[in-house]
Copies of this chain bind each other. A is one copy, B any other.
Amino acid sequence: MALRFAEPAREAYHFPLAIGHLLDAALLSSADQEIVYRDQMRLNYRKLRERIGALASVLTGLGAQEGMTVAVMDWDSHRYLEAYFAIPMMGAVLQTVNIRLAPAQIAYTLSHAKAEILLVHRDFFPIVEAILPKLPSIKAVLAITDGADVALPHFAAGEYERLLATADVGFAFRDFDENAIATTFYTTGTTGHPKGVCFSHRQIVLLVLNAKAPFGVTQAGGLGHGDIYMPLTPMFHVHAWCVPYIATLLGVKQVYPGRYEPQTILELREREGVTFSHCVPTILKMVLDAAAHKGTDLSGWRMKIGGSALTSALCKEGRNRGMTLISGYGMSETAPTVAVARLSAGIQDEEAQIAAMTVSGVPIPLVSARIVDQNMRELPHDGKTQGELVLRAPWLTPCYMGDPAASEALWRGGWMHTQDLATIDPDGTIIIRDRLKDVIKTGGEWLSSLTLENLVASVEGVSEVAVVGVPDARWGERPIAAITSTAALPPDLEAINAPITSAIARGELSRYALVDRVEVLQAMPRTSVGKIDKKALRTLLGQQTPQPSGAGR
């Protein structure tokens, strides 16, 4: 039996890993530090703490209590930051609602999570009005008019700022078990209903402590004292990767952009001096296009990129505009950060730097990662052998809510299954080669759609690219490229295949890798979180008559 403390002092404080404690050090050392919301609000950490107390008082007045789910539908704002703290600190569960889902899906997630109180921005009043009749468990709706002089809807119990203004800031938060659930949200699966994941106070605090300064990027990309932070990953999406919590822990200046509009984002960055953000490649592309349009220099802006792979072409585009871009890896089930690319100070060569910055990353502390075959046998870390990436860390979701079969599959063999196909280099660098289900199986070989996409992205005239496998009677599947292009004459099949041909000549790809067809689309089909919807693409491209497969095979 391992020994435990036999006689702790009666009054010794047992410090729980609770979200409220993330504020302790910052309130001491950064009480006057600013938090900015667009043009509408400037507060500081001292005021933030008061407003957290006031929000808890308001919610309690609306009937909130420990164990209850309180849902938020808002854009990125100081209000969301307040909810990130106040709701879990009350012992309630914060549900961050994905406002990009269809109304019926939003209703499903609210109902499934048993939300009883709803905070809702005026932009979503119509949706809420439509779904509220189907949600009898909702006891109260707190409306957010966001500075506009609009009438409150009939279903609202009050307005956010108006109620906070007169609420008691001295709400008596109490300590409770660090394993209490703090947050929940729903992942947008490509099949069936969205799946609910949830995270405890302990899990979020441990992720925050481990992700706050991932080794490897301390010299070039970590968030630290002196930085100015603005999220560009929606706060409903995996807690904006927990970075608002990290920024608050560090006591840095924070800037919240509201609804993402490229013009506002660029103005806020310049006016407030933003140095650190994070987003998916789609948002990065939007920001870069807007900056290119105005010729804006983005020097001094470091950005973590996740959600899907950062291509070399996009990385280069960002660098040309002065940005430092760093890849990260994670998923909804992992809260999300698991790995971050490591920039060694020693790397001088630009291509080598880009290569280092666009890999999926090196595990952050307390992450244990393996690649395994279908029988959970561990595979070598040789940078070549591909297997499913499986993980252990203190902050992985232990289940999908109300879906025991999916939960058991997620944790088969005591490791969390990412369903991502990866290699691990001898130096620990994890490179995601593909989603297991997005791998293209052709002629008895597996082709990584990500590798092909990275090559095609470098072709002149290609704005975006997705490569999917469509059924083929002879080869099983064949790769088809879908692109968008702003060029007057979009690249043809030969141009698209040129870099793939070179890679085949260099022995890096099999000769099965040439794409059979290129489709130029007006826009990519997307999931609710802005990722390219490959399931929809496979359906779309599979329905069209395939041309004959490439000759010579």
A residues 199-244 near B (Cβ < 8 Å) are 200, 206, 209-210, 212-213, 215-216, 218-219, 222, 224-226
| Alpha-carbon distance A67/B2, docked complex (angstroms) | 4
> Could you say which residues of chain B place their CB within 8 Å of the CB of A176?
2
Q: Is there an interface contact between A4 and B180, defined as CB atoms closer than 8 Å? A: yes
> Could you say which residues of chain B place their CB within 8 Å of the CB of A402?
7
| Alpha-carbon distance A402/B31, docked complex (angstroms) | 40
Which of B4, B25, B424 is A179 in contact with, Cβ under 8 Å?
A: B4
Q: Is there an interface contact between A344 and B218, defined as CB atoms closer than 8 Å? A: no
Tell whether A25 pairs with B364 under 8 Å between CB atoms, given A5-B398, A345-B226, A399-B7: yes
Is A136 an interface residue when CB atoms closer than 8 A count as contact?
A: no
- Interface size for A (C-beta < 8 A) is 86
A residues 130-172 near B (Cβ < 8 Å) are none
Is A328 an interface residue when CB atoms closer than 8 A count as contact?
A: no
Q: Is there an interface contact between B24 and A366, defined as CB atoms closer than 8 Å? A: yes
Q: Is there an interface contact between B4 and A177, defined as CB atoms closer than 8 Å? A: yes
Q: Is there an interface contact between B9 and A66, defined as CB atoms closer than 8 Å? A: no
A residues 3-33 near B (Cβ < 8 Å) are 3-5, 7-15, 17, 21-22, 24-25, 28-32
Is A250 an interface residue when CB atoms closer than 8 A count as contact?
A: yes
> Could you say which residues of chain B place their CB within 8 Å of the CB of A282?
none
Closest residue of B by beta carbon distance from A17: B394
Which of B2, B362, B412 is A181 in contact with, Cβ under 8 Å?
A: B2
Q: Is there an interface contact between A344 and B226, defined as CB atoms closer than 8 Å? A: yes
| Alpha-carbon distance A14/B251, docked complex (angstroms) | 31
Tell whether A407 pairs with B25 under 8 Å between CB atoms, given A251-B215, A344-B226, A392-B15: no
> Could you say which residues of chain B place their CB within 8 Å of the CB of A344?
225-226
Closest residue of B by beta carbon distance from A198: B5
Is A365 an interface residue when CB atoms closer than 8 A count as contact?
A: yes
**Chain B min CB distance to A254 (Å):** 14
**Chain B min CB distance to A388 (Å):** 16
Q: Is there an interface contact between B369 and A8, defined as CB atoms closer than 8 Å? A: no
Most buried by B among A17, A28, A249: A28
Which of B180, B362, B411 is A2 in contact with, Cβ under 8 Å?
A: B180
List residues of chain A with CB under 8 Å of any chain B CB: 1-5, 7-15, 17, 21-22, 24-25, 28-32, 66-67, 91, 93, 176-177, 179-181, 198, 200, 206, 209-210, 212-213, 215-216, 218-219, 222, 224-226, 249-251, 342, 344-346, 362-369, 381, 392-394, 396, 398-399, 402, 404, 407-408, 410-416, 424, 426-429
15 extra A-B contacts, CB within 8 A, seeds A2-B67, A12-B398, A213-B213: A2-B177, A4-B177, A5-B200, A13-B392, A15-B366, A15-B393, A24-B366, A25-B363, A212-B213, A215-B250, A216-B224, A218-B218, A219-B224, A226-B345, A249-B365
Give me the 7 closest cross-chain CB pairs, A-B, nearest first. A29-B428, A2-B180, A8-B398, A218-B224, A9-B411, A213-B213, A15-B394
17 contacts between A and B (CB under 8 A): A1-B91, A3-B93, A7-B407, A12-B398, A12-B407, A12-B411, A13-B414, A24-B367, A24-B368, A28-B362, A31-B426, A206-B209, A213-B224, A215-B250, A215-B251, A226-B346, A249-B365
